[in-house]
């Protein structure tokens, strides 16, 4: 089968949000388009402007964020199935951002945007409080070695930021095939009054029996590795 044509930067640009400030990522950034940021709150040398979701998507629809979208399968299927919701994918590796973004562009999706950056940095600096209706974290890198665990995206600080950016009634959804990391993530969230556990499950089905929502979920099911999944509701309690 022939490889699809590589999309041009112009074709991909509408799907990519550029951060306004230098941050820890593996790629250099270009300036953010003016229409995608809130009023010039950063122009006086103050903190960088927060994302204005309405300007970024061109509508006031609810926004869901996926952290570490990888090749973008979850966003591809979910955004196509739910056109009345906006989806923002954060991915630290540029080649995956490009891969996923090309899929969204080829499908002609209008309700997805992406950024190449560290999700912890984006949450901390650019996402307005109470502005998001769901945060999805699926199969985050486990960083197995003890000395690398500090690189994990799901930390107490990240969970606190997730609580801050979620609107009351919003949801935090996590899944992984690494039991230890699931325990760590669930333990962090259970310790925050800002979240109430809605559902937790372990499933061992094959691809045919259980299906899959992401690339890594498919790999886990093909290997027969159990998948741990949990969903939490944002309560009315303060975030921190
Ligand atoms: C194991 S893959 C899972 C990809 C996808 N969620 C899935 O389930 O198929 C983890 C992804 O998270 C990305 N990632 C790791 N740390 C990140 C961070 N701090 N911010 C954003 N993305 C991150 C990785 O580059 C990788 O694409």
pLDDT number for residue 43: 55
| 67 CA to centre of ligand 1 in angstroms | 7
Query: What pLDDT is attached to residue 131?
Result: 98
Q: Domain residues for 29? A: 9-234
| Tokens standing for residue 86 | 């906006």
Nearest Cα residue to atom 27 of ligand 1: 70
Pocket of ligand 1 (CB under 6 A): 67-70, 90-93, 96, 118-120, 138-141, 153, 214-217
pTM of the model as a whole: 0.91
- Measure the CA angle with vertex 87, ends 92 and 41; round to 5°: 75
CATH of the domain at 191: 3.40.50.150
Domain presence at residue 208: yes
Q: Which atom of ligand 1 is nearest to the CA of 215?
A: 9
pLDDT digits (tens, 9 = 90+) for 177-213: 999 999 999 999 999 999 999 999 999 999 999 999 9
141 catalytically annotated: yes
Q: What are the tens digits of pLDDT across the range 42-97?
A: 555 677 789 999 999 999 999 999 999 999 999 999 999 999 999 999 999 999 99
Residue 240 covered by a domain: no
Q: Which residue's CA lies nearest to atom 19 of ligand 1? A: 118
Q: Which two tokens stand for residue 107?
A: 């499908």
In this predicted structure, what is the pLDDT of residue 31?
41
Output the CA 40–ligand 1 centroid distance in Å: 31
Domain count across the chain: 1
Return the best residue to mutate from 68, 127, 158, 176 for the ligand 1 pocket (most ligand atoms within 8 A of CB). 68
Largest CA distance in the chain: 56
Please check whether residue 4 lies inside any domain of the structure.
no
User: Does the pLDDT value for residue 170 go beyond 90?
Assistant: yes
Q: What is the mean pLDDT of the chain?
A: 91
State the catalytic residue, choosing from 39, 52, 141, 233. 141
Q: Specify the pLDDT at position 26.
A: 46
pLDDT for 108-126, tens place per residue?
999 999 999 999 999 999 9
């Amino acid at each position: 089968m022939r490889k699809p044509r590589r999309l041009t930067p112009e074709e991909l640009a509408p799907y990519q949000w550029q951060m306004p400030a230098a941050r820890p990522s593996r790629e250099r950034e270009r300036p953010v388009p003016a229409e995608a940021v809130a009023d010039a709150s950063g122009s006086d040398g103050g903190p960088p402007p927060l994302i204005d979701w309405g300007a970024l998507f061109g509508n006031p629809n609810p926004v869901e964020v996926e952290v570490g979208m990888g090749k973008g399968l979850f966003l591809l299927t979910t955004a196509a199935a739910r056109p009345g919701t906006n989806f923002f994918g954060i991915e630290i590796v540029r080649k995956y951002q490009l891969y996923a973004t090309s899929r969204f562009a080829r499908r002609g999706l209008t309700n997805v945007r992406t950024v190449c950056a560290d999700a912890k940095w984006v949450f901390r600096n650019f996402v307005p409080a109470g502005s998001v209706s769901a945060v999805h974290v699926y199969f985050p890198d486990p960083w197995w070695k003890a000395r690398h665990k500090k690189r994990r995206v799901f930390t107490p600080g990240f969970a606190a930021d997730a609580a801050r950016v979620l609107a009351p009634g919003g949801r935090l959804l996590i899944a992984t095939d690494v039991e230890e990391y699931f325990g760590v993530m669930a333990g962090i969230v259970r310790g925050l009054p800002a979240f109430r556990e809605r559902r937790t499950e372990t499933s061992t089905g094959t691809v045919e029996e259980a299906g899959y929502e992401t690339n890594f979920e498919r790999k886990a099911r093909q290997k027969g590795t159990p998948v741990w999944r949990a969903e939490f509701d944002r309560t009315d309690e303060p975030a921190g």
